[in-house]
A and B are shown apart, each in its own frame.
Chain A
Amino acid sequence: MPDGLGAPAAGPADGSTSSGPGRVLVALYGTFALAAGARAAVQLATQFDEAPLAYLLSAFSAVVYLVATIGLARGGRSGRRTAVVACLVELAGVLVVGTLSLADRQAFPDATVWSGFGQGYGFIPLVLPVLGLLWLRQLSELDRDAATGDPAPPA
């Protein structure tokens, strides 16, 4: 291969949620689904009594990430709708839990992914749902343009 940095890329992705920027999101969501899921599994199995609320929240966030990952990876109308709902739940979760964890530290003795607005995870939990919703919105705009015959805006 003459060019070590890779061949020129193909144009903007089609309406697929699992290609282009969508694949980056699926990678991030998949990582968080695994990380939160594994963490919750260990916490629930070994020390459930210490902070049941925090550990159940970890498990819940893992499920939300998993649903978002699957929704984005599958794509299509239902996949996207699933992903939108998951992103909204996730955004609400990170905002509510983030606020509560700062207001009432007693209730959250052990950190969850969403504590402190995702502080322990580089605030990625806060950014991820926003990116997800923006991406999903852009896809549905592309769809609408395609349906009305307008040329797609440059991505």
Chain B
Amino acid sequence: MAHQWGMAIDLDRCNGCEACVVACHAENNISTVGEEQAALSRAKHWIRVERYYEGEFPDVRVKFTPVLCQQCDAAPCEPVCPTFASYHTSEGLNGQVYNRCIGTRYCANACPYVVRYFNFYNPIWEKPLQLQLNPDVSVREEGVMEKCTFCVQRIKAREIQAAAEKRELRDGEIQPACVQSCPTRAMVFGDLGDPESEVSRLARSSRATKLLGELGTRPKVNYLPRDSWHDSENA
């Protein structure tokens, strides 16, 4: 059976540091758009850290939630694409074929998670910043929608390596850039098709929930909400 890539994010570990966001920029050749375009809400962050304030001073709380493409099994972005640029891969990813994309932006309209980002202009890397580009990831041009791929280039590289070494992939062997960088180990990536994997174990946990799960999108990212401390538990 094909792998079903998924993720679990433990919000009791996440401290909102943004390491995942910068790691993603570096890995996936995400261009910065500059101040003017950022002011028009055109900045691109395939993963972002949401923060929610609750209450009023002094009884105020903040919760962080990193949000990336949820790689839905019933993805609202896929059926609306007139050119099949958004499609479902055999390994469960919400793929985006850049050279099929004609920029209708229907997919971004349909996505309830707001994780699709449109290139309003060609990317600019002022020389020699272009030298930082990852040769394993294509650069997107004006008029093209882009989004989180679960670092499909890393997935493919490991699958090819494992096949060449005639072995099965090991659980935890593939780490998207965000997971690899995360200083609190809040993010776990793996095969939801393998019941023994760490990500499957976390997905089965009584704490696991889905973001906007009630929409029926069947996301493959599981969130484990912030826990609380109970004196009795520890005493």
**Chains A and B come from one and the same complex:** no
